[in-house]
Amino acid sequence: MTEPAILFVNLRGVPSEDRSALIAARRLGYQVDLIGPSLPAHAAGLVREFRLADTDDPEQGLRAARALAERASPAGVVTWGDRGVELVALIGQELGLRALSPAAGRRARHKVAMKQAVAHLPGIVGSHVGVVERSDLAPALRQVGFPAVLKPAAAAGSAGIFEVRDRDQAEAAFDRLAGWLQGAPRPFRGDGQGELILEELIEGPEFSLEGWVHEGGVTIAGVTDKWTTDGFHLEYQHVHPSGRLDSEQSVLRKGAELVVRTLGLDHCAFHLECKLTPRGFRLIEVAGRTGGDYIGSHLVPLSTGLDFHGNCIRVACGFPPRMEPVDSLCAGVRFLLARNEGIFLGLDGLAEVLQMGDVEQVFIEVPVGSALRLPPDDYDLQRVAAVVARGPEHSAVIETLDRAARCCAPRVERWDGHR
């Protein structure tokens, strides 16, 4: 008898996260067929059949899915990053698989449509408006006011976020983003071909909520505390579960569930980012896929014992998520940031970090020898390594991550030859 298969649309491209998802499928008894632009070496032994396709082109992606389905109908379809969300919705519709609808996929992928869909909910989102041309900027600024955030309407991974506090800053940010998006791949442009969103800057601590939707029922695995850099909002630390009061987390959970239901997400994982303000929950954005940055692959399983990626597979195949066992530990990740541009030569102090008792793993994010650029020239290369730690208490994990960041520093040779 042929083993059941699940169709993966793309991988995240991070070896440890990809293998976590692939192994979860195999552990649950599913072979994996993959559609994507490449088959990475770290995934090859865990994929039954691979079909090359430009998954940013819906027709190419659908042709590849049909070809794989002719061999054996998949039990489900799932993606692990933003660029596959809308294609998964189309494949689900085409092959009769459980997946979020194409309309919900667009709302989950396009920030303007997302915020318009929940704007009728009192206090959930701040003032916002789409910006396409430079001439759109002045009326948008009058509507939104200052301070504000200007960013791509379809980008992911904290890419292209500019805080603006006056018109000159806004115009400079628009020019920078417009130029960047011209040459950016479609995952950053989306089908809006470079549309931006100008939105009210929301002050307050930032969080993400991780979970799944099955037959309209929302299950939240937990709340994750989030730290970002000043200015460009690059995410550099996550700790799960949150250390906030239960009453505060309850506010976040209720807001997240309301947003997910209103957007019509179903048969998928979700990763929702929000802030806690004096007025309560405020939405930043939500994705119709699992959280990256090792949250779904490492932090949730290490802290709770939940099979997060396994539950993503279950939901995609029509089964409810399993919520046992639930451990009461804490896990976090700290990204080590390059402070200057140049050639990445390695990490000083790595051996000391590896000897820390609560450190679980250290991942090198950028190959040694890479030429590093910093935001706003590049949003992928500043985070050169990641330290994952686990401990019995929230404060202990943060202390371990802080110690690791103090003693382990990226070694970068500047363009002028200095370090």
Per domain, the residue ranges of the chain are: 5-99, 127-200, 329-419
Q: Which uninterrupted H or E stretch holds 197? A: strand 196-200
For the domain covering 5-99, report its CATH number.
Answer: 3.40.50.20
Q: Specify the higher pLDDT residue, 327 or 29.
A: 29
The better pLDDT of the pair 376, 385 is held by: 385
Per-residue pLDDT band at 75 (split at 50, 70, 90): very high
Give CA separation, 359 vs 174, 350, 353, 390, 393, in Å: 41, 11, 7, 6, 14
Q: Which pLDDT tens digit goes with each residue over 257-274?
A: 999 999 999 999 999 999
Q: Is the pLDDT of residue 188 over 70?
A: no
pLDDT, mean of residues 75-88: 96
Tokens found for residue 11: 């991988």
Which CA distances in Å does 289 have to 10, 101, 275? Answer: 12, 14, 20
Domain 329-419: which CATH number of 3.30.1490.20, 3.90.1170.50, 3.30.1490.190, 3.40.50.300: 3.90.1170.50
Q: Which of 329, 283, 335 is nearest to 126 (CA)?
A: 283
Report the candidate in 74, 78, 81, 80 with the shortest Cα–Cα distance to residue 95: 74
DSSP string over 48-86: SEEEE--TTSHHHHHHHHHHHHHHS--SEEEESSGGGHH
* pLDDT over threshold 80, residue 326: no
Cβ-proximal residues to 353 (8 Å cutoff; 6+ apart), any chain: 359, 362, 387, 404, 407, 408
**CATH number of 127-200, picked from 1.20.1090.10, 1.10.150.20, 3.40.50.2300, 3.30.1490.20:** 3.30.1490.20
Residue 190: predicted pLDDT: 56
In three-state secondary structure terms, 349 is coil
pLDDT of the residue at 78: 98
Q: What are phi and psi of 368, to 5 degrees?
A: -60, 135
Token pair recorded at residue 335? 């990204």
pLDDT at 351 over 90: yes
Question: Could you read off the pLDDT of 290-301 as tens digits, one per residue?
Answer: 999 999 999 999
| C-alpha–C-alpha distance, residues 349 and 297, integer Å | 26
| Section 116-130 average pLDDT | 94
> Residues 6 or more apart from 351 whose CB is under 8 A from it?
none
- Looking at residue 153, what is its pLDDT? 86
How many Cα atoms within 13 Å fall on the side-chain side of residue 234? 19
Q: What is the pLDDT of residues 23-64, one digit of tens each?
A: 999 999 999 999 999 999 999 999 999 999 999 999 999 999
Global pTM value? 0.93
What pLDDT band is residue 380 in, cutting at 50, 70 and 90? Answer: confident
For residue 138, which amino acid is it? A
Contact 269, 286 (CB under 8 A): no
How would residue 159 be classed by pLDDT, with cut points 50, 70 and 90? confident
The pLDDT value given to residue 157: 59
pLDDT score of 390: 98
Asked if residue 417 has pLDDT above 70, the reply is: no
Instruction: Report the mean per-residue pLDDT for the chain.
Output: 93
